[in-house]
Structure 1
């Protein structure tokens, strides 16, 4: 099925409301899909591309940079495009996850001896890790679809220009979503002047499309309903379950088929019981009764725009460790403007009133209250106020 047909089918079935901005971008993605079908990509040998060998290839089609406020359908359109384009290999990945992989690959390259580099990457492999790392990425994905491109880390900012120059030189086509226009990436960041060539590269290589229709679909699907339910129990569980299916367009009858996910955090695997379209579901026990730390919570906050937590208990002095982890978790979710839906045995101000850190917990109470507000819920994922 074509991208535009898939989009029009969703509108016809009333799963989407007619939206001129979405229709325009869907048509642009459909054109890109057809251009990719007609494209002769570079040699599948990344060594050949890297060092000038392999067959001649057509110039790649221009990719796409889709940006707009939260809930305007960017990720939905990305899914339609990725699922209906035929080019292979291709990959859809959250931008933060991709950059973690890049840094790990650069680290591994630097740990290799000269002989190991030549054996793995060829006799021209030198001290600079960027060309071989980019070449390997290019061999594994002719099309890269990034969700939520945002740059907040100086280490990312300093390598992006060179990395993407090599990716584009190797013929990789990029489609990405973002809550910000290219010129606002890494805004006010350290040494931002060194980042500006990357913005120039994006604007020279990708078409920029704005999605800023009148409806925040994510907020609309919450329907003005509560996001904090008291107490835990069947009614709260049912309400959160319904919210999950509204947010993900997943059929309720398929509830047993909701996929799980796994995040890699500092070399460890963090299991996510249910995750779909940027929405993750956890129990309090899994998040805060297990030995997780700030890196785990940041990885969750960076990956998912909405987190649903069930089974938050009333915490006493004997649960000070759980309370401390909960504070760290809420700090991470708040920092990245993650939408939090949860069920608890008590309202925020009664969750933890006695025990080590009870005074400090008052900040968490304040944040839990703010995270229920319309102003907070209207903010984009990853964008601080």
Structure 2
């Protein structure tokens, strides 16, 4: 029987959100030794060396606090407490971030920025600080600020975690002091953004998107009948009409999108259309991220995936998010072509 994502209503506890803060299956086995820097892009090898050295320090047991440090509170590590990998799509930032997590001593946490904000929303700021202050390392993939609420929340959270001695690592497509530009009146929250930026040592990683090296821009969409037939014949495949799916996403908190895919082996979507509503588009970006985390093949009908976001959207403040989603969906659709 075909799974209908639009008919699922998952419930997700805060305990599950916390326990799932590990690298997704796609990055479960990556290590620094499996990262292949592009010889034409020296910044990739430089980032690899820098993070490998950082991991060696984080692999050492944390020293027991002295009486003086206990009286004063935990002493933050010397230098900036965080590293921030800035670069385009598909240059291996997430591979390097997951490798740092794998090769560091715990307790440690790995999540996307969206998952972090969802976790804090589920726990509350005070409980989140209490739960995370004991962590040695927190890795945050796809760091981005979408609204003033996120800016205030994450600024306070990370400030308190850094004061507790937690080390940070993050990836993003935007320099930390430029976060929020084009999305809201970032100038009004400049102090918070600058405070966030001050926590990080920025490392730029350049290079082309490896997911598209030698691949077409987007695979040709399948006829609707083929999408439905392949989904019906494949165990564990879901199949939803594009409109039914995005309407259902509007009724679920984004923290539940991962659970929505529990037990799913492939995702089929019929009649994909151009999006003009920013809210709908951003929900689909989160779903695309969760699909990519799980390496789920995509069977797509309708318009080509690189036409899913309107031209105006691809010029706006969320442009990088949409380009990342297109990059990931095309990678999954190319896998789906071989299903």
State the TM-score, normalized to the length of structure 2.
Answer: 0.61
CA distance in 1, matches of 2:221, 2:281: 17
Q: What is the aligned counterpart of 2:87 among 68, 81, 87?
A: 68
Distance 1:382 1:142, change over 3 A: farther
Gaps of 5+ in 2: 1-29, 292-296, 325-339
Query: Over residues 300-359 of structure 1, what are the superposed CA-to-partner deviations in whole Å (9 max), with x where a residue is unaligned?
Result: 59x99xxx7426379xxxxxxxx9xxx999644667795998545xx63xxxxxxxxxxx
Q: Could you tell me how far 1:101 is from its partner in structure 2?
A: 1.3
1:217 is matched with 210
Summarize the Cα distance change of 1:328–1:284 in structure 2 as closer, same or farther, 3 Å threshold.
farther
Asked whether 1:30 is paired with 2:52, we answer: yes
Q: For residues 329 and 161 of structure 1, what CA distance do their matches in structure 2 show?
A: 24
State the distance in 1 between where 2:193 and 2:61 align. Answer: 26
Between the aligned partners of 1:225 and 1:165, the Cα distance in structure 2 is: 42
Choose from 164, 167, 170 the match for 2:161: 167
Match of 1:137 among 121, 132, 136: 132
How far residue 144 of structure 1 moved from its aligned partner, in angstroms, is: 0.3
For residues 220-254 of structure 1, give each alpha carbon's deviation from its aligned partner in whole angstroms, at most 9, with x where no partner exists. 2744451522255499969xx9xxxxxxxxxxxxx
Deviation at 1:134, TM superposition (A): 1.5
Contact 2:218 2:306 in 1 (8 A): no
Measure, in 2, the Cα distance between the counterparts of 1:56 and 1:293. Answer: 42
Q: Which has the higher contact order (CA 8 A, sep 6+)?
A: 2
Which residue of structure 1 lines up, in the alignment, with residue 26 of structure 2?
none
Q: Which residue of 2 aligns with 1:7?
A: 32
CA contact (8 A) 2:227 2:299 kept: no
- Find the counterpart in structure 2 of residue 283 from structure 1: 239
Cα shift at 1:283: 2.9
**Residue aligning to 2:321:** 381
User: Tell me, what secondary structure is at the counterpart of 1:229?
Assistant: coil
Partner of 2:123: 105
Between Structure 1 and Structure 2, whose CA radius of gyration is higher?
1
TM-score computed with the length of structure 1 as normaliser:
0.55
The total of aligned residue pairs comes to: 270
1:182-215 Cα shifts (integer Å, max 9, x gaps): 12101145453453233333333221011122x1
SS at 2:110's partner residue? strand
Task: Quote how far apart the aligned CAs of 1:38 are.
Answer: 4.2
Question: In structure 1, what is the equivalent of residue 199 of structure 2?
Answer: 205
- CA spacing shift, 1:194–1:53, aligned 2, 3 Å: farther
Match of residue 292 from structure 1: 248
